[in-house]
Structure 1
Amino acid sequence: MSADTSRRIVLLRHAKADWPEVSDHDRPLAERGRKDAPAAGLKLAETGIVFDLALCSTATRTRETWKLAVQELPYRPRTVYEERLYEASPGELVALLNETSDEVADLLVIGHNPGTHALADLLSGRAEGDGLARMNRSGFPTAALAVVSFTGSWKSLEPGVGTLLDFWTPKDH
């Protein structure tokens, strides 16, 4: 794939987690999260995007979100569980995405806030429709997803290069 390849990143925040007496990394999904994760999977399927790769945080709630969401997809993309997604800053997330192989055109990232929202906002220099306003008004709730497109290599990914194509929350369905 050349440097002028159009690429898409879908940023999915984990579904609603419970607060049992475990470490933050080990928090499981709450009942609402177990309902919202498949809805997010249906929305992922509706986008028609064929993901070349899914990067998922190693935290329990992100892995459980992905396990439920992926069942709604017509295929299962290659999945890499990436511990650097947990508690990552927007700058750390951009650095991680810069490592992505240029063979990957469409990437799904299952992560956490505030990094997921901050990254979607940081990358989106433009937006189609009212997606940016809705995303910033809602604060990127659990199980929400943003679709961002950009043109170029993954190494060229930087603030403002993307267009927010879609923003969805479980309340939208």
Structure 2
Amino acid sequence: MSSASKEKTLILMRHAKAEEGRGLPDHDRELAPRGRRDARAAGKWLHQEGLVPDLVICSTAERTRQTWEEACHGGAQTEFVEFRRSVYVGGSEHTLETLREDAGDTTTVLVVGHNPTMAQLTSLLADGEGSREAHEALSQGFVTSGLAVLRYAGEWADIDLGTCELARFHVSRGHED
């Protein structure tokens, strides 16, 4: 089976709940306590679902870095993490271009980013295709700690609008200890 015909998985994750700015530059905002719990819950969900990315492409913002770190404390794992400013400053097109360039021969890629980019990219890539239930959940909003699981058959370098199916949409919420 060639890698082009092998089904791939793309997980788009919005960072967890961040603290209000409090005079900090947006890039430096950290996760709120609830955000840390929710990110750990997201990691637990990824682990339980057997979703193990070969590569994580993470925005350089502090809250996205902390989201992935907390997800790992919850059970998520990966071999490689790349921090890309393009996911922070760029919109859907820049994030998609970063995915095309960085994903290589991987099977499963997880992108930790921001809204509105994560919501727009999910909608543009799936274009209504996939699970009706997942699309209905997504239509309620791509909230913090939301995860969109998309299926794609092809080379990452060729991924484009309308080439994926939305398989799942999950919102992770942690509980106070």
Distance in structure 1 (CA, Å) of the matches to 2:76 and 2:34: 24
Query: What do the CA deviations read for 1:69-127 (whole angstroms, capped 9, x no partner)?
Result: 01222643311111111032111111111113432110011000000111111111312
Distance in structure 2 (CA, Å) of the matches to 1:15 and 1:22: 18
Contact 2:14–2:113, Cα closer than 8 Å, also in 1: yes
Amino acid aligned to 1:30: A
Q: How far did residue 35 of structure 1 move?
A: 1.3
Amino acid aligned to 2:15: H
| 1:15-164 → structure 2 map (5 Å cutoff) | 15-19=16-20, 20-73=22-75, 75-125=77-127, 126-137=129-140, 139-164=141-166
Q: How far did residue 172 of structure 1 move?
A: 9.8
Q: How far did residue 2 of structure 1 move?
A: 2.4
Distance in structure 1 (CA, Å) of the matches to 2:76 and 2:151: 22
**Paired residue total:** 172
**What TM-score do you get using the length of structure 1 for normalisation?**
0.92
CA RMSD of aligned residues (A): 1.7
Unpaired segments ≥5 residues, structure 2:
none
Report runs of 4+ in structure 1 exceeding 4 Å deviation. none
**What TM-score do you get using the length of structure 2 for normalisation?**
0.90
Distance in structure 1 (CA, Å) of the matches to 2:52 and 2:34: 27
State percent identity of aligned pairs.
35
Unpaired segments ≥5 residues, structure 1:
none
Match of 1:12 in 2: 13
**Gap change, CA 1:23 and 1:135, over 3 Å in 2:** same
